[in-house]
A and B are shown apart, each in its own frame.
Chain A
Amino acid sequence: DAKTTQPPSMDCAEGRAANLPCNHSTISGNEYVYWYRQIHSQGPQYIIHGLKNNETNEMASLIITEDRKSSTLILPHATLRDTAVYYCIVIRNRGSTLGRLYFGRGTQLTVWP
């Protein structure tokens, strides 16, 4: 599975959009981009995933570049409760590593009032 690179920390004002970048330059054609977050002392929470096209759900939007080498998770109106570590993970949805998520160090997002 492709490795990912994320900034260790970011901050954002409450009510503003939080844009979290992820680099996955070695991604291959059958690999998906997943985003999770972990609020302190809780289990990770699935946010969104995508293959090629941009995706949106009630939590966030995922923008994947055309060459698929990077992506951005967008929280459109960040709140204090969005303060968490955000993980970008690239995995295949088929094959021997099914079900195995590789969590890096992620990005600590701090939303301030």
Chain B
Amino acid sequence: KAGVTQTPRYLIKTRGQQVTLSCSPISGHRSVSWYQQTPGQGLQFLFEYFSETQRNKGNFPGRFSGRQFSNSRSEMNVSTLELGDSALYLCASSGGEAGVRGEQYFGPGTRLTVT
């Protein structure tokens, strides 16, 4: 099975712009979660989608949003970029059994640099 794929792998944007990141989960997985990783804050949970519905949201401002499509692919969007949004954005997918979502499979991440 192919793993979790994320595009693009690297991105450079300027302050004030917006960005959309994409994640394709492992085939058959219905849950997709997003995380932000920075040297200062470590790995932080952004949100989780399951069957096109946002199930859980972390403590991030409304500039961070996401969605999930019927094929389980997910996108996250960050509007009005700030320098502090520079980070590695990771997507993880997990299998369909209800409740067994601690076992997550991560993609390689998108490295976003805001200048």
- Count of residues in A whose CB is under 8 Å from the partner chain: 23
For A101, list chain B residues within 8 Å (CB). 33, 35, 43, 45, 92, 102, 104
For B99, list chain A residues within 8 Å (CB). 93-94, 98
B8 to chain A, nearest CB (A): 15
B72 to chain A, nearest CB (A): 13
Picked from A49, A91, A93, A100, the residue with its CB within 8 Å of the CB of B58 is: A100
Tell me if B105 counts as interface (CB < 8 A to partner A): yes
For A42, list chain B residues within 8 Å (CB). 108-109
- Count of residues in B whose CB is under 8 Å from the partner chain: 27
Main secondary structure of the interface of B (DSSP, over half): strand
Main secondary structure of the interface of A (DSSP, over half): loop
Which of A2-10, A19-27, A74-82, A102-110 contacts its partner?
A: A102-110
Q: Are B106 and A102 in contact (CB under 8 A)?
A: no
Measured in the bound complex, the distance between the Cα atoms of B74 and A45 in whole Å is 20
Measured in the bound complex, the distance between the Cα atoms of B55 and A97 in whole Å is 9
Measured in the bound complex, the distance between the Cα atoms of B65 and A26 in whole Å is 33
Q: List residues of B whose CB falls within 8 A of some A CB.
A: 4, 31, 33, 35, 42-45, 48, 50, 55-56, 58, 90, 92, 94, 99-109
> Can you pick out 6 interface pairs between chain A and chain B where the beta carbons lie within 8 Å of each other?
A44-B92, A98-B101, A99-B31, A100-B33, A100-B56, A101-B43
